[in-house]
């Protein structure tokens, strides 16, 4: 019998998953008040959280359908960061979902213009040997969209200068977990800087890590 591809999730299933992940991120302190936003691919466009969303107001029906050209369907008003999400999807074909947060430790580093060097092997799960911080650009701007899109074309997450963080992954549950991991790594890096000068892995260490990660499909 020939293998058949799994059926694509229905719109209702995508909306439910987005709402569930939004609440997960809120419970873990990554989305506070109405900061941050989440999205996933939907047909030729995306579903994205509405402008001004919060854990108290978000519902599966809240997410706004937006076409690839940025036009929104229905009466909902999409997040002001819709251009950034669309830019990442355009640059990264494997990105199925995106999470943008203003989580504390990521934002603290971003406000110092600091990326996260390869001080821990889990940094490698983001696709390289560091997690970059892109320069500041006004929220909702084409400039910010370009900076984030370029960074996430080579990494699964980055910091946004004087702003926050953004991650992508295959689906919204994985993207939410990746955002949680990024905040954890940022916290550990800040703690390591308080304790001393964090050591970074060598080029040989990274070759070994990426070989092992590929073997075990890790990260």
Mean pLDDT on 193-218: 93
- In this predicted structure, what is the pLDDT of residue 7? 80
Active site residue 56: no
Residues 122-147 have pLDDT tens digits of 999 999 999 999 999 999 999 999 99
pLDDT band at 1 (very low <50, low <70, confident <90, very high): very low
pTM of the model: 0.94
Read off the pLDDT band of 73 (50, 70, 90): confident
Q: Which residues is 98 bridged to in the sheet?
A: 39, 168
Burial 107-140 (b: 16+ CB within 10 A, else e): bebbeeebbbbbbbbbbbbbbebbbbbbebbeee
pLDDT at 145: 97
What does the domain layout of the chain look like in residue ranges? Answer: 11-216
Catalytic residue among 20, 32, 81, 94: 81
**pLDDT digit string (tens) for 83-112?**
999 999 999 999 999 999 999 999 999 999
The confidence score (pLDDT) of residue 5 equals 62
pLDDT the model gives residue 157: 98
Residue, of 97 and 1, whose pLDDT is higher: 97
The DSSP symbol for 62 reads G
The CA distance from 111 to 164, in Å, is: 8
Identify the CATH assignment for 11-216 out of 3.40.225.10, 1.10.3720.10, 3.90.650.10, 3.40.50.1100. 3.40.225.10
């Amino acid at each position: 019998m020939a293998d058949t591809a799994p059926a694509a999730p229905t719109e209702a299933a995508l909306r439910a998953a987005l709402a569930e992940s939004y609440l997960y991120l809120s419970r873990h302190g990554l989305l506070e008040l109405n900061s941050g936003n989440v999205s996933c691919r939907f047909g030729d466009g995306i579903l994205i959280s509405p402008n001004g969303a919060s854990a108290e107001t978000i519902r599966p029906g809240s997410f706004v359908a937006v076409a690839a050209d940025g036009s929104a369907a229905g009466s909902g008003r999409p997040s002001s960061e819709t251009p950034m999400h669309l830019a990442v999807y355009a640059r990264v074909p494997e990105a199925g979902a995106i999470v943008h947060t203003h989580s504390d430790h990521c934002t603290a580093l971003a406000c110092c213009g600091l990326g996260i060097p390869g001080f821990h092997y889990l940094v490698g799960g983001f696709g390289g040997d560091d997690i970059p911080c892109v320069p500041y650009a006004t929220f909702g701007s084409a400039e910010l969209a370009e900076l984030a899109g370029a960074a996430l074309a080579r990494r699964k997450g980055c910091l946004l200068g004087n702003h926050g963080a953004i991650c992508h992954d295959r689906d919204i549950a994985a993207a939410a977990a990746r955002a949680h991991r990024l905040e954890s790594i940022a916290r550990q890096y800040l703690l390591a800087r308080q304790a001393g000068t964090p050591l970074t892995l060598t080029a040989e260490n990274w070759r070994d890590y990426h070989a092992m990660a590929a073997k075990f499909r890790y990260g």
